[in-house]
Chains A and B, each alone.
Chain A
Amino acid sequence: MSDRLLKPIVSTVLGWLSLAAVATLAVFGLFVAPPDEVQSDAQRLMYLHVPSAWIAYLAFGVTALASALWLWPRTRATVWDRVAGASAELGVIFTALTLILGSLWGRPVWGVWWAWDARLVTTAVLFFLYLGYLALRRIPSAPDARAKRCAIAALVAFVDVPIVHFSVNWWRTLHQQGTVFNQDLDAKIHGVMAFTLWFGVVAFTLLYVYLLDRRYRLLSLDEDREAREVEAAIAERVGAAPPPAPPTPPTAPVEVGAP
């Protein structure tokens, strides 16, 4: 049963559940949670920004794990290739969302859309790393060849992430101390705000699992269609080809072993 990740009923329930969770998050984030003392309403973006970042990392982690499982001979199965692909797509979307939301937040709070902060730069590199991976995935070729190529590329990208992280961190700390980050945002968050943040993480995780299942289903249907189209094309070719030599007219049965 590899053309579906979850049973249809589970998927439907999960879909409604994540919709309800995201709606609740919107209510909490926009109305219930109090505005931040320093950042006022801009801080409300954090209820989306932080969960997005979490999902991005989760998604890339899942891609790496699924790729490793595909490469491991004992666990090799199409399901892992599709999970890796579907999860990477979500990871890229949520990384983009993280960057955009962060930028929208940065403008009022830091006064700039973009700063060369370690985390921002790392996230941007992460985005491009997996954008390349998605480009690789889109190149048509034999399923197993593509799966192997993509699995290796996913693991290479995953190995590179900590190196990027360390190097960028060193760069920004060895060179200059954060200029825009020095405002003491040490204030601990409490009560409703913390709850909303955590709830956002849960809501987005539900959404991630739901979307992963949907993308998985689409990928398997797509692959199915491709395979069928190839079969149909082959059948057409065979049908259009000049008919094979006419069957020899029936003759007297040849006696096997006749002299």
Chain B
Amino acid sequence: MSLWREVTLVAGKDLRIEARSRVTVQQILPFGLIVLLLFAFALDPDRGILRRVAPGLFWVTVLLASLLAVSRAFGIEADNGARDGLRLSGLDGPALFLGKAAAVAAELLALEVVLAATVVVVYGIHLNTLFPLLLATLAATVGVAATGTLYGVLAAGLRVRETLVPVLLLPVVAPVLLGATRAWEAAIDGVPSDAWPWVALLAVFAVLFTAIGMLAFGPLLEES
């Protein structure tokens, strides 16, 4: 089987589970929306603070939602010996990693579309230059999905999985929050030239951690 075929097989499995269980749509998405609402409670919406910090709030929300998405991605492998199934499937580590990460990335992208629309409407911001913004979002999402999948499998067999992943993942993705937020700010301000260095940083992050994940997934799955 070609790598591509294996990747789509794994990603398709996860997305099919999602289509049937609707956990992302019915639990993670409402969670993200309520976080956006809570930010408005915490920060006075009348003084324009929300509008100014909207990109940061959006990306913090995405990161929090990504923790749930990662937890879910490995929660579905926890029962009924599903991880043994993965190990025995004969699929290669890199393919398994890419498949799982692609599914997480697809779910996050769907979430981001809704959350971004909410931010635009509710916080009252204008996205002036769309192209760097889209690229930054894509690169950041791939980076978060890759690191999330990496730490997800790292903690997969552990009883403390749910509490361990956030403390491991959040410091590592700190640069993603920083880069994506700055890129969004630049896009909102209509200064795309300020966004490109951050897009490049996000792309480097995404490529690097995808490569590490492809290498490490197999060995980590063995031990989980």
Contact = CB atoms under 8 A, between A and B. Distances in A.
Bound pair: A and B?
A: yes
Interface of A: 125, 128-129, 131-133, 135-136, 139, 141-142, 144-145, 148-149, 152-153, 155-157, 159-160, 163-164, 166-168, 170-171, 174-175
A187 B117 CA distance: 53
Nearest to A168: B178
A174 B194 contact: yes
B154 A149 contact: yes
Interface string B178-191: 11001000000000
Contacts of B194: 174
A132 B147 CA distance: 14
B172 A166 contact: no
A157 B201 contact: no
B23 interface: no
A255 B216 CA distance: 59
Contacts of A145: 223
Contact of B212 (A144, A149, A159): A159
25 contacts: A125-B171, A128-B171, A132-B171, A133-B168, A135-B164, A135-B168, A136-B154, A136-B168, A139-B158, A142-B223, A149-B220, A152-B220, A156-B172, A156-B209, A157-B172, A159-B212, A163-B175, A163-B204, A163-B208, A167-B179, A170-B197, A170-B198, A170-B201, A174-B197, A175-B182
A125 to B, nearest CB: 5
B174 interface: yes
A153 B204 contact: no
B158 A125 contact: no
A175 B197 CA distance: 13
B136 interface: no
Given A145-B223, A166-B201, 6 more contacts: A129-B172, A131-B167, A148-B220, A148-B223, A157-B171, A163-B175
A166 B182 CA distance: 14
Given A132-B168, A167-B175, A153 B154 contact: yes
Contacts of B179: 167
Given A132-B168, A163-B205, A174-B182, A125 B174 contact: yes
Contacts of B164: 132, 135-136, 139
B138 interface: no
B210 to A, nearest CB: 12
A133 B219 CA distance: 18
B175 A164 contact: yes
Q: Is the interface of B mostly helix, strand, loop or mixed?
A: helix
A155 B201 CA distance: 20
Contacts of B88: none
B201 A129 contact: no
B169 to A, nearest CB: 8
A17 B219 CA distance: 43
B150 interface: yes
Interface in B120-177: 147, 150-151, 154-155, 157-158, 160, 164, 167-168, 170-172, 174-175
A164 B174 contact: yes
A192 to B, nearest CB: 39
A141 B167 contact: no
B158 A141 contact: yes
A136 to B, nearest CB: 7
A170 B197 CA distance: 9
Contacts of B147: 156
Contacts of A125: 171, 174
Contacts of A144: 223
Contact of A152 (B154, B171, B175): B154
A142 B222 CA distance: 12
Nearest to A144: B223
Contacts of A142: 223
Contacts of B197: 170, 174
A148 B178 contact: no
Given A149-B223, A171-B178, A156 B205 contact: no
A123 to B, nearest CB: 12
Given A153-B154, A168-B178, A171-B178, A163 B168 contact: no
Contact of B219 (A141, A148, A175): A148
Contacts of B212: 155-156, 159
Contacts of B223: 142, 144-145, 148-149
A167 B154 CA distance: 26
Contacts of B170: 128
A163 B171 contact: no
